[in-house]
Amino acid sequence: MKASPYLVLALMLAVCFTLATSLEPNAALWSNRAKSGNVFSLLFGDGRRMFANEFFTMADVYFHSGYYPSVFDLREEDQKEIVAESHGHTDSPEDEIKEDFLGKPKDWIDRFGRHFRVTKHTHLERGNEREILPWLRLAADMDPQKIETYTVGAYFLCQHLKQPQEAEAFLREGLRNNPGNYEILFGLGRLYYQNYHDIDRARNVWQLALNCWMKQDATLQKENKLGFEEITVNLANLEREAGNCQDAINWFQAAQKVSPAPDVLQQQIDEIKVKMAAQPSPTNSQPH
Amino acid sequence: MNTIWALAGIVIKELYRRKDFYVLFVLTALITIAAGMVNFFDDPKIVRYVKDICMLLIWISALLIAIVTTARQIPAERESRTIFPLLAKPVTRGQFILGKFLGCWLATGIALLVFYVFFAIITGSREQNWPWLTYLQAIWLQWAMLAVVIALSLLGSIISAAPSSTTTICFIAVAGILLVGGHLNTVALHQSQPLQTIFYTIYFLIPHLEWFDIRDRVIYDWGLVDWLDCVLATLYAAAYTGLFLLLTWLGFRRKSLNT
């Protein structure tokens, strides 16, 4: 029996209509879920966080231009260098030795094989840092709650690529996904201070960051002392630049309580005190 | 030699008559172009991720073409019984093996050339840089590595009757060597006996195909490998290719051709 094409078409339309009515309520649910996360969370669920970590690692691999240990190379698992760099850390000669994961060749196969591999430890520079950005973008899409992605991305966009507007947009996206996160707020404050030279806005954002840091429970505060130190030291520098010497001293003193190098901060305080003594009429106020 | 070339010519014709190459090339091109069109932070100069994706796809495609094309050569000839009139002509079994190998290797080389021209156009148009010598080294080393893979697949195809099983086993073996082969010595160091000896034996026996993978040098612009090292690596690949072809011939010359 040969079916008429019109009948087949009518049947297909009926099937489509039936499917649409049954799928529509579920589709509404999907769109709600999509609003809460993104297409990756819909597709991969919590498994996307694993991909996010991989993509973040890829950014670090690119930062080293391919010189990176594999799972077989034994290396102390410490902070990724893109994260360390975003906190202002630069490699010392000891760090360089620690990062030579290859060591001496174990045999002739290993020795000869190294002629074809990347065996030199370098970091991207002169604007080539842009190459890490696609992986950070993907990491942020995969796991919007991974804070480091936003702070590291914004740092490189600002400091190395001179794209503060893109950095601000990325940080604000991070803030939308992680409301009240002190690390992102700190990054935003740094952007206002260093790139836009907007002292008032930077001060407000950093103080908000400090409030958010304070709201953490005691255990988290103990773990994240570096965050507190970064915020207070930057606030101190900001106040010093603004001419509020007493405020600057207060912030440095607050930073001293958690700093691993309080002597360095004491030197800064002493310098400000000398400056204050040299000035005839101090006009200082309490910290904001 | 003419016989070998004639056999090789048939294999090359087979490559461009079949759809495998076209499908893989179109897929590679589509994925690369789609990846290249994504805008990251409004920066059009970002290029390395495109190179990375394209090179990875080229490697996967070339391996697939090499293994799949080779694995079906002898079983197909036996199944269609065309091997009988072929060997009834003055064609020795050695020439047959060499002709098949040469055909598969040249066919893979042509495919590789097309892939690399596409790669050069895509990356060159983005970064306005054409490191032809680096590309030449990359393609040569990859082609030399594929000679070993093709010889290995040919050996597999006379052991296993089904092309699918040969393809699967060869793909797993090659992927295993590429991913883990270079690290077996490190793994062996942390094992107790007799595992340590077993790992070391495998490490020294397997062809180290990972040497020929200079993708990182191309992607991160590390420049040329020393030409002497390229020559030595080529000789290394030639030695393993010769060994696998010899084993294939030894196995094939006594093999019954009835299916």
**Which of B43, B189, B233 lies at the smallest CB-CB distance from A133?**
B43
**Which of A65, A107, A113 lies at the smallest CB-CB distance from B211?**
A113
Contact B38 A134 (CB under 8 A): yes
Q: Within 10 Å of residue A116's Cβ, how many Cβ atoms? A: 22
The shortest C-alpha distance from B67 to chain A (Å) reads 24
Residues of chain A with C-beta less than 8 angstroms from the C-beta of B187: 72
**Which of A66, A116, A170 lies at the smallest CB-CB distance from B225?**
A116
Residue with the larger pLDDT of the pair B84 and B57: B57
The shortest C-alpha distance from A104 to chain B (Å) reads 12
Q: Within 10 Å of residue B28's Cβ, how many Cβ atoms? A: 22
Q: Tell me if A96 sits within 8 A of A64, measured CB to CB.
A: no
pLDDT score at A212:
84
Range B23-42 average pLDDT? 88
Q: Does B231 touch chain A (CB under 8 A)?
A: no
For the ranges A232-236, B26-30, B140-144, the lowest mean pLDDT is seen at A232-236
Over residues A55-80, the pLDDT tens digits come to 988 998 998 888 888 888 766 556 67
List the single residue in B with minimal CA-CA distance to A110: B182
Q: What residues contact residue B97 under an 8 Å CB cut-off, 6+ apart?
A: B154, B245, B248, B249, B252
Q: A65: which 2 tokens?
A: 């231009």
Sign of CA dihedral B191, B196, B198, B201: positive
Over residues A163-183, the pLDDT tens digits come to 889 899 999 999 898 888 888
Amino acid (one-letter) located at A114? R
Residue found under tokens 């309490």: A286
Q: Does B22 touch chain A (CB under 8 A)?
A: no
pLDDT score at A67:
87
Alpha-carbon distance of A184 to A263, in angstroms, equals: 28
Q: Does B127 touch chain A (CB under 8 A)?
A: no
pLDDT score at A286:
47
Average pLDDT, chain B: 89
pLDDT score at A94:
67
Residue found under tokens 């996010």: A52
The shortest C-alpha distance from B220 to chain A (Å) reads 5
Among the listed residues B187, B87, B51, the one whose alpha carbon sits nearest the alpha carbon of residue A134: B51
Q: A186: which 2 tokens?
A: 């700190």
Helices B132-159 and B48-71 pack at an angle, to 10 degrees, of 30
Q: Does A57 touch chain B (CB under 8 A)?
A: no
Q: Does B219 touch chain A (CB under 8 A)?
A: yes
Instruction: Report ipTM (2 d.p.).
Output: 0.83
CB contact burial A29-61 (16+ within 10 A = b; e otherwise): eeeeeeeebbebbeeeeeebbebbeebbebbbb
Q: Does A116 touch chain B (CB under 8 A)?
A: yes
The torsion defined by the Cα of B129, B132, B133 and B136, in degrees rounded to 10, comes to: 140
Quick one: DSSP state of residue A78? -
Q: Euclidean distance between the first and final Cα of chain B, in Å?
A: 29
The residue ranges of every structural domain in chain A are: 40-174
Residue pairs between chains A and B whose CB atoms are closer than 8 Å? 83
The shortest C-alpha distance from B78 to chain A (Å) reads 40
pLDDT score at B83:
80
| pLDDT < 70 stretches in chain A | 1-3, 24-42, 74-79, 89-99, 280-288
Residue B118 pLDDT level (bands cut at 50, 70, 90)? very high
Q: Within 10 Å of residue B186's Cβ, how many Cβ atoms? A: 17
Count Cβ atoms within 10 A of the Cβ of residue A278 and give its class: 0-12 exposed, 13-18 middle, 19 or more buried.
Answer: exposed
Alpha-carbon distance of A265 to A258, in angstroms, equals: 11
**Which of A65, A70, A133 lies at the smallest CB-CB distance from B220?**
A65
Residue found under tokens 């505060």: A221
Range B242-246 average pLDDT? 94
Q: Does residue B194 have a cis bond before it (omega within 30 degrees)?
A: yes
Amino acid (one-letter) located at B87? L
Contact B46 A117 (CB under 8 A): no
pLDDT score at A34:
46
